Amino acid sequence: EQAADLRLPVVLIGPMGSGKSRVGKQLAKRLGLPFVDTDNVVSGEHGAIARIFERHGEAHFRALERAAVAAALEQPAIVSLGGGAVLDEDTQRELADARVVLLTVTEEAVLARANLDKRPLLRDDPGAWSRIAAARRPVYERLADVTFDTSHRPISGIVDELVAWV
């Protein structure tokens, strides 16, 4: 199968547990393109995200994340961002030159699904998910070119629609 000809990176954004990594991985495979998960880049280079938060604080994590996002957007690829990456203004500017897919999810679906231990912002306070998601929603919506809710449907159907959209 031939790799799709992408001129701009396709970037998945959305709250924690919305399915960005799963959708991104499957989409990249279907299109024959590289997949980059910026959380994995950061943890591959600097260790577990929860540990980075504990040892160095959130601001340090955000700086590492900003660098990983900038590098990921340099080539045509499918890129999934950590939920908070879009708060960075440099990242927001860079996303103007990308095709941005917003994934949304309900609180019930995400709490049933998400691996809370890996997510320092939720670990001690699962109720934080709704507050954080609501606070970020305007930013997500402003950046998005297309939106899918992943709560009540299989990932494969969303990937099919994205293959057509790309």
Q: Using only C-alpha atoms, what is the Rg of the chain?
A: 15
Number of helices and strands in the chain (H, E): 8, 5
Residue 33 or 86: the one with the smaller Cβ distance to ligand S3P is: 86
Applying CB under 6 A, which of residues 49, 86, 100, 162 lies at the interface with ligand S3P? Answer: 49
Separation of alpha carbons 126 and 128, rounded Å: 5
Separation of alpha carbons 102 and 1, rounded Å: 27
Which among 4-12, 89-97, 115-123, 156-164 is the span making contact with ligand S3P, rule CB under 6 A? 115-123
**What are the residues facing 13 on neighbouring strands?**
102
| Binding flag, residue 83, ligand S3P (CB under 6 A) | yes
Taking the complex as a whole, how short is the minimal distance between the CB of residue 90 and ligand S3P, in angstroms?
16
| Binding flag, residue 82, ligand S3P (CB under 6 A) | yes
In 3D space, the residue among 51, 46, 74 whose CA is nearest the CA of residue 65 turns out to be: 46
Separation of alpha carbons 60 and 47, rounded Å: 13
| Binding flag, residue 121, ligand S3P (CB under 6 A) | yes
Which among 26-34, 70-78, 92-100, 117-125 is the span making contact with ligand S3P, rule CB under 6 A? 117-125
Which 126-165 positions form the footprint of ligand S3P (CB under 6 A)? none
> Which residues contact ligand S3P by CB under 6 A?
16, 20, 39, 49, 82-84, 119-121
